[in-house]
Amino acid sequence: MENIHSFKIKELLNKYPFLDSFFKNNTLKISGKEHLTLRQVFAEFDEDTLEDMGVEPQLFIQQITEFITQMNTFLGKDENKVKSVTILPGNDKSGNIEGFDKLVIKQGEIISIVGPTGSGKSRLLADIEWVAQEDTPTKRKILINNDIPDKKWRFSSSDKLVAQLSQNMNFVMDLTVYEFVELHAESRLVENKDNVIKRIIEKANDLAGESFEPDTPITSLSGGQSRALMIADTAILSKSPIILIDEIENAGIDRKRALSLLLSEDKVVLMATHDPILALMGDRRIVIKNGGIHKVIETTDQEREILSTLEEMDRTILAYRTKLRSGEIITKI
């Protein structure tokens, strides 16, 4: 849901007509103030007047948010429902048309994207993030729910279609870990903010090696730590129906745990990877060659068996890694 502080009353009423009854049943007087945002309305009264009216701004925002959520659920409206993502063919780097009709990815599916370095995996993720309409170098077209998507997906920062965990992450803000997560929590209007923030920091520390504190400045987090924080933040806070992951493996964090934290039934997950374990964890994998979608392969039963073997090997490697990281001398495990 949007950050409702920043909407004018009349915009809110337009978007959620049922709010009319909410305002009528409430003691906050809004008549004549429809051109203001809620924040501005609160600012018009001093504290005593608000108290006399029995209005506590923060509580008010919380109640109105809950009311909207409840009404939307009741009316069967879920603004962010994405049942499918469709990729229509464009061209590879040599200009050849990609050899498939259309590729439909359904809610609940995990798709991995494999291919050599520089082949175009990140490009495909970027096409989806941008909801490409033949306006990227690949000339691909992306449909949401089998339709050309609403412009809001492309231009609104609050109705985010996609949560992106990208290959490169640079924090430039002068914030602590707590403040950084708090910003996200506030913009998503979560209840129980403190608990949620605590949980995110805890999960991030589960994924990373050396732990960090809520008051650690985000600029001093290591690559793996900031990656872990972004994964936990996305997993717990993001309402985006599509999750795009570009290479978890380079971050030195527990990949499998990270992936299972991110997965949820109602999302579409696409991840570009060079890691055989992650690649085989997908239901299907897209093979990219020379910038084009070359093949789409469904993970076979035999591959799933091989996956278990690989996971076994991975656990051995992780055990050695933990020992090495903590300065031990390696002996046979």
Ligand X SMILES: Nc1ncnc2c1ncn2[C@@H]1O[C@H](COP(=O)(O)OP(=O)(O)OP(=O)(O)O)[C@@H](O)[C@H]1O
Confirm or reject binding of residue 273 to Mg ion (CB under 5 A): no
Q: Which tokens in the block code for residue 92?
A: 């590879």
What value does the CA radius of gyration of the chain take, rounded to a whole number of Å? 23
Binding mask 123-162 for Mg ion (x = CB under 5 A): ----------------------------------------
Place of tokens 């008010």: 60
Stretch that binds ligand X, among 4-12, 81-89, 121-129, 172-180 (CB under 6 A): 121-129
Q: Which residue is nearest to Mg ion (CB)?
A: 122
Confirm or reject binding of residue 115 to ligand X (CB under 6 A): yes
Q: In 3-state terms, the chain is what percent helix, strand and coil (to 5)?
A: 45, 15, 40
In whole angstroms, the minimum distance from the beta carbon of 140 to ligand X comes to: 8
What residues are paired with 217 via a beta bridge? 176
Pairing of strands 141-144, 284-289: unpaired
Single out the residue of 16, 121, 253, 254 in contact with ligand X (rule: CB under 6 A).
121
Single out the residue of 112, 119, 122, 138 in contact with Mg ion (rule: CB under 5 A).
122
CA dist., res. 91 & res. 100, Å (int): 11
Confirm or reject binding of residue 112 to ligand X (CB under 6 A): no
Confirm or reject binding of residue 89 to ligand X (CB under 6 A): no
Phi, psi (deg, nearest 5) at residue 289: -140, 130
Task: Select the binding partner of residue 118 from Mg ion, ligand X, none (C-beta < 5 to 8 A, by kind).
Answer: ligand X
Q: Which residue number, 196 or 272, has a Cβ lying nearer to ligand X?
A: 272
HEC string of 260-271 equals HHHCCCCCEEEE
Q: Which tokens in the block code for residue 226?
A: 């900031």
Single out the residue of 112, 138, 225, 299 in contact with ligand X (rule: CB under 6 A).
138
Single out the residue of 112, 122, 164, 234 in contact with ligand X (rule: CB under 6 A).
122
Pairing of strands 84-88, 103-106: antiparallel
Phi, psi (deg, nearest 5) at residue 229: -65, -45
Stretch that binds ligand X, among 28-36, 50-58, 86-94, 173-181 (CB under 6 A): 86-94
Pairing of strands 292-298, 162-165: unpaired
Confirm or reject binding of residue 289 to ligand X (CB under 6 A): no
In whole angstroms, the minimum distance from the beta carbon of 126 to ligand X comes to: 7
* Sequence letter at residue 305: E
Q: Which tokens in the block code for residue 187?
A: 């913009």
Stretch that binds Mg ion, among 49-57, 96-104, 121-129, 207-215 (CB under 5 A): 121-129
Summarize as ranges the residues that interact with ligand X (CB under 6 A).
Answer: 91-93, 115, 117-123, 137-138, 272, 291-292
Summarize as ranges the residues that interact with Mg ion (CB under 5 A).
Answer: 122
